[in-house]
Amino acid sequence: DQQVKQNSPSLSVQEGRISILNCDYTNSMFDYFLWYKKYPAEGPTFLISISSIKDKNEDGRFTVFLNKSAKHLSLHIVPSQPGDSAVYFCAASTQGGSEKLVFGKGTKLTVNP
Amino acid sequence: GAVVSQHPSWVICKSGTSVKIECRSLDFQATTMFWYRQFPKQSLMLMATSNEGSKATYEQGVEKDKFLINHASLTLSTLTVTSAHPEDSSFYICSASRTSGRRDHEQYFGPGTRLTVT
């Protein structure tokens, strides 16, 4: 039973446009959510996180939105750049993010020039 | 700061042999290190959590006698795949979280180790 779901395996957008990556979760005990970017044969790189007490967190071009009632979060990248092309993983934790993480399967983002 | 290294980055071994993978936090102390495994086009699956100086906690379905984890210091954890079989071929990634008391809530991931068992 997958507790963190990324239902879109891939997403393609044009450079300069907005990329929206979605993530759903089932465990209501999750209190911290993170987004990671990953290139092939490399470890994930932390992008941005959000605590369950917030509904939005912004860092430069990256914004994460959390809708607790819908158990849904999304990552917005604007404007998208070709260097953003990678696999994006959503992860969730019940212990503040520095403990056990449950990952989604990832969404491969391709930003076309 | 917050760099995690893994060694080796890739390894090929014969079926039945054992392989050791090292995970080091280079510029911070990590009370907790995590070992993940990723199969192609799949998510990262947590295998075990290791705390410095104590036994690792394994996730359900992970054989503790097959995947030996040692966290001997605040900067080093090792994963040994014993009696490796082709189905153990995977991408193994470690992560480390800083010592408690800090305000950030991040795990820092290593670059991963590609294991191929022939």
The DSSP line for chain B is ---EEEE-SEEEE-TT--EEEEEEESSS-EEEEEEEEE-TTS-EEEEEEEETTS--EEPTT--TTTEEEEEEETTEEEEEE-S--GGG-EEEEEEEEEPBTBS---EEE---EEEEE-
The predicted structure's pLDDT at residue A42 = 86
Q: Cβ(A111)–Cβ(A82) under 8 Å?
A: yes
Looking at beta carbons, which residues of chain A come within 8 Å of B114?
A: 41
B14 to chain A, closest Cα gap in Å: 21
Distance in angstroms (rounded) separating the CA atoms of residues A71 and A91: 13
Chain A residues with CB under 8 Å of B98 CB are 98
Peptide bond into B8 cis (omega under 30): yes
Question: What confidence score (pLDDT) does residue B99 get?
Answer: 61
Q: If you search the block for the tokens 């989604």, which residue do you land on? A: A104
Residue A2's pLDDT is what? 82
Look at residue A40 in the predicted model and tell me its pLDDT.
83
- The answer to whether A85 faces chain B, any CB pair under 8 Å, is no
Structure tokens at A75: 């990552």
Determine the distance in angstroms separating the CA of B4 from the nearest CA of chain A, rounded to an integer: 10
Of A41, A93, A105, the CB nearest to B43: A105
Closest CA to A110 of A78, A76, A87, A79: A87
Cis omega before residue A79 (within 30°)? yes
Q: CB contact, 8 Å: A107 with chain B?
A: no
pLDDT value at A1 more than 80: no
Of A89, A93, A96, the CB nearest to B44: A89
**A110 near A92, Cβ under 8 Å?**
no
Residue B45: the pLDDT is: 92
Cβ–Cβ gap B107/A101 under 8 Å: yes
> Which residues of chain B does A49 touch, with a Cβ-Cβ cutoff of 8 Å?
105-106
Given its phi and psi angles, is residue B83 left (phi above 0), alpha (psi -120 to 50 degrees) or beta? left
- β-bridge partners, A101: none
Report, as ranges of residue numbers, the positions in chain B whose pLDDT lies below 50: 101, 103
The answer to whether A100 contacts B49, with C-beta atoms less than 8 Å apart, is yes
Note whether B112 contacts A34, CB cutoff 8 Å.
no
Q: Which of B42, B46, B108 sits opposite A100 (nearest CB)?
A: B46
pLDDT of residue A80: 98
pLDDT tens-digit profile of A4-61? 999 999 999 999 999 999 999 999 999 999 999 999 888 899 899 999 999 999 999 9
**Which of the pair, B113 or A95, is modelled with greater confidence?**
B113
